[in-house]
């Protein structure tokens, strides 16, 4: 197993672990790499994603590291014709590929891919300065780190098949591909995925972190399993050989696998689309308690979702099939306005009919404990907002870091977004200090080391190229020097915003959280990744939806508890920062029983809760809608039909609400609407 360590925007490395504790040597070596890599040509890094002009504190340079980026192309001279854009995209793609050739890039470095005027590429950090000055490039987007949001599994009995409506109408999804982008591994030999002949219904699996099989031809990394590979392994197991999942080995085979559970809900034999073709993409994100095979590195971020979506769309095109894609992963990074590079790539990909992307809204909705032992509220206190009324006035936020209380050796990040009309100064007061660190617009403090080794970086930026807004980023990094490993300083970090020039004054803040988990023991001390959070006074219980789910053409799903007929308290809430109505609807996501992947015992089924379980239910319903429709429908039409047919919660109205969206899904009504919406009557 490996655990991801991030230092600064867009730079990621991994830290290996040993069975009985932390591999301290590997930890120190990796962090030395991170420290230098995060500072390689810092001016280029900032200009690519953080355009800073006045420097308060600088750091040393280094020679080599790699980042995943999304490049927005705008042909020079204001040319807008398609030929000029295609020419510019082709030229810049070649530049990116040439910059990577001959370098000691990670094994997981991806081939460069394009869609319309966007390019996804792995490039050397030193190449960012060249991209910045290219006249055909509008902006280089940094990729956001993907976060695991794994539910706690519990024992479950075999579920009642999720049959919906008339199979004669939608054929149980027989003409549809259900694409699952997830983590933990796909247990393709589980009974819920075997047809009447004992063959798997998975027709392809792309393991982005694997090296057991060759890579998909157009992507250049990972390992691709075909249906023949998988069925040959099942046949070998039936003949007395090794288990099929060990014959065709994925890099993640986690007990009670998240990916297997999600695929079962959407398209297992007990799922919504039991006749659909299943294609899985395993994202190379470290998974807790994955004891089977440790990867040497990881290089995963939101750009990997783009590769996964393009892979699935390519298979659908090759087979001339409809495709409904589910993504039950998320991130809090970015402006939550749907204008991030990944959001826009998805929208470009969804312009054609017969394709849809469904996303989990996230599980950051809880702000208070439900009982004395409940700590779920920690995961929910991620958002704050307010308004500075006039110049010279100020407001304070309380940012709590558990830190040395349980040795938090993870990165902690706070992002503040506000109107381009305004100018805010930001001040930070570490626990136990009396001197505030002040940063004015277009200034930054980088890698300032406090007396206990905690490192602070603050960037105060104007006019973000992706949306024109102003934003402030604050990073807290632990002390991982040899012989003195310590977590981030524990306590209350005070953040003060001061109005330098105020016309609007409104702001929103998000904490990019870690999922809490222990990573090892050293010298009797336990080391954790643990989320920081806002105090009760600073937290605002809204706008907690994953930024990945804020797109305009994708479908965001929250978690409905059918047993209580209420929303699950943990389900993330909208709206988006720019006021759009997300999530779109809610679906069953609490105590959902589905396939127990890679089980260490004889338990075939397992129960889990979360928006991760609600989203694939909707993805399956969309597969049935596509099959029932008299003509191909696109993602926006699917979204409209689901909004139109959703039912209000008990006591509610048809108005959108920030946790349930337009209401709970009515699958039968949605399928009927998809069948009939294209009918027309000629009235003469």
3-state secondary structure 121-143: EEEEHHHHHHHHHCCCEEEEEEC
**Average pLDDT over every residue of 425-453:** 95
Distance from C-alpha of 235 to C-alpha of 555, rounded to nearest angstrom: 39
Asked whether 548 and 331 are in contact (CB, 8 A), the reply is yes
**Average pLDDT over every residue of 430-446:** 96
Q: Where do we find the tokens 């796909």?
A: 186
| pLDDT at 507 exceeding the cut of 80 | yes
CATH superfamily to which 163-365+545-675 belongs: Peptidase S8/S53 domain (3.40.50.200)
- Length reported for the chain: 684
Sequence-separated (6 or more) residues with CB below 8 Å from residue 379: 363, 364, 366, 513, 515, 516, 531, 533, 570
Q: Which fold has domain 397-531?
A: Jelly Rolls (2.60.120)
- Name which of 421, 428, 418, 434 is nearest 386 in CA terms: 418
CATH architecture of 66-142: 2-Layer Sandwich (3.30)
Poorest-pLDDT segment among 45-54, 339-348, 356-365, 381-390: 45-54
Residue 447 region, left (φ>0) first, then alpha (ψ -120 to 50), else beta? left
SS3 606: strand
Angle at 153 between CA 194 and CA 287, to 5 degrees: 85
Alpha carbons within 13 angstroms on the beta-carbon side of residue 281 total: 29
Q: pLDDT band for position 514 (50/70/90)?
A: low
Share of the chain above pLDDT 70, in %: 82
Distance from C-alpha of 35 to C-alpha of 478, rounded to nearest angstrom: 11
Distance from C-alpha of 485 to C-alpha of 478, rounded to nearest angstrom: 8
Amino acid 81: pLDDT: 66
Amino acid 169: pLDDT: 87
Q: Where do we find the tokens 């190449």?
A: 127
Asked whether 570 and 560 are in contact (CB, 8 A), the reply is no
Q: pLDDT band for position 410 (50/70/90)?
A: confident
- 573 — phi, psi (to 5°)? -120, 155
| pLDDT at 156 exceeding the cut of 90 | no
6-40 residue pLDDT tens: 223 222 222 333 323 333 333 333 333 333 333 33
Alpha carbon separation from 292 to 245, 250, 288, 507, 529 (Å, rounded) = 11, 10, 11, 45, 21
- Facing residues of 492 across strands? 400
**Average pLDDT over every residue of 386-412:** 85
Instruction: Specify the domain boundaries for CATH 3.30.70 within the chain.
Output: 66-142
Poorest-pLDDT segment among 80-84, 110-114, 506-510, 523-527: 523-527
Instruction: Specify the domain boundaries for CATH 2.60.120.1290 within the chain.
Output: 397-531
Q: Is the dihedral of CA 150, 155, 158, 163 positive or negative?
A: negative
Q: What is the mean pLDDT of the chain?
A: 84
Distance from C-alpha of 214 to C-alpha of 222, rounded to nearest angstrom: 7
């Amino acid at each position: 197993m490996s655990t991801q360590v991030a230092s600064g925007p867009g730079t990621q490395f991994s830290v290996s672990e040993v069975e009985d504790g932390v591999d301290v040597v590997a930890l120190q070596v990796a962090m030395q790499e991170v420290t230098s890599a995060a500072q390689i040509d810092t001016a280029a890094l900032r200009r690519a994603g953080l355009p800073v002009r006045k420097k308060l504190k600088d750091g040393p340079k280094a020679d080599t590291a790699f980042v995943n980026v999304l490049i927005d192309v705008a042909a020079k001279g204001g040319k807008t014709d398609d030929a000029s854009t295609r020419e510019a995209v082709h030229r810049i793609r070649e530049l990116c590929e040439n910059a990577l050739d001959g370098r000691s890039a990670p094994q997981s470095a991806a081939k460069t891919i394009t869609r319309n005027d966007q390019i996804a590429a792995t490039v050397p950090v030193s190449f960012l300065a060249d991209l910045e000055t290219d006249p055909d490039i509008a902006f280089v987007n940094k990729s956001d780190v993907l976060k695991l949001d794994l539910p706690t599994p519990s024992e479950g009995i075999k579920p009642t098949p999720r049959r919906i409506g008339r199979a004669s109408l939608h054929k149980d999804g027989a003409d549809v591909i259900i694409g699952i982008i997830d983590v933990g591994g796909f247990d393709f030999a589980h009974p819920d995925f075997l047809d009447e002949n004992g063959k798997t219904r998975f027709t392809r699996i792309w393991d982005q972190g694997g090296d057991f099989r060759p890579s998909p031809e157009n992507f250049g990394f990972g390992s691709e399993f075909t249906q023949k590979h998988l069925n040959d392994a099942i046949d070998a197991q039936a003949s007395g050989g090794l288990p099929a999942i060990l014959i065709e080995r994925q890099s993640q085979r986690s007990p009670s696998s998240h990916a297997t559970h999600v695929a079962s809900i959407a398209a297992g034999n007990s799922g919504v689309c039991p006749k659909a073709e299943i294609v899985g993409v395993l994202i190379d994100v470290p998974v807790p308690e994955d004891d089977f095979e440790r990867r040497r590195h990881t290089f995963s971020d939101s750009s990997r979702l783009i590769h996964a979506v393009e892979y699935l769309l390519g298979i659908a095109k090759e087979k001339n099939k409809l495709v409904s894609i589910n993504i039950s992963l998320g991130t809090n990074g970015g402006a939550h306005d749907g204008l991030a590079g990944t959001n826009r790539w998805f929208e470009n990909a969804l312009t054609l009919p017969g394709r849809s992307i469904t996303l989990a809204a996230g599980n950051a909705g809880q702000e208070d404990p439900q009982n004395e032992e409940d700590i779920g509220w920690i995961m929910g206190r991620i958002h704050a907002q307010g308004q500075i009324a006039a110049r010279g006035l100020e407001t304070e936020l309380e940012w709590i870091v558990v830190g040395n209380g349980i040795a938090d050796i993870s990165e902690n990040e706070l992002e503040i977004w506000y109107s381009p009309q305004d100018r805010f100064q930001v001040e930070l007061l570490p626990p136990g200090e009396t001197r505030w660190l002040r940063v004015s617009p277009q200034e930054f403090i980088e890698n300032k080391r406090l007396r206990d080794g905690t490192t602070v970086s603050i960037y105060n930026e104007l006019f973000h190229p992706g949306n024109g807004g102003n934003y402030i980023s604050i990073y807290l990094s632990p002390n991982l020097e040899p012989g003195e490993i310590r977590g981030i300083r524990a306590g209350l970090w005070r953040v003060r915003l001061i109005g330098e020039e105020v016309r609007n004054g409104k702001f929103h803040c998000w904490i990019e959280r870690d999922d809490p988990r222990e990573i090892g023991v050293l010298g009797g001390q336990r080391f954790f990744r643990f989320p920081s959070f806002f105090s009760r006074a600073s937290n605002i219980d809204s706008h907690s939806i994953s930024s990945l789910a804020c797109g305009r053409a994708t479908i965001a799903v929250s978690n409905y508890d059918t047993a209580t007929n209420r929303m699950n308290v943990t389900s993330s809430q909208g709206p988006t920062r720019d006021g759009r109505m997300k999530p779109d609807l809610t679906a069953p996501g609490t105590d959902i029983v589905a396939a127990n992947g890679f089980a260490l015992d004889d338990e075939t089924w397992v129960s889990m809760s979360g928006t991760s379980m609600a989203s694939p239910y909707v993805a399956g319903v969309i597969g049935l809608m596509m099959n029932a429709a008299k003509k191909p429908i696109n993602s926006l039409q699917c979204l409209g039909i689901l909004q139109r047919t959703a039912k209000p919660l008990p006591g509610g109205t048809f108005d959108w609400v920030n946790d349930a969206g337009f209401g709970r899904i009515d699958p039968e009504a949605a399928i009927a609407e998809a069948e009939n919406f294209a009918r027309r009557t000629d009235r003469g």
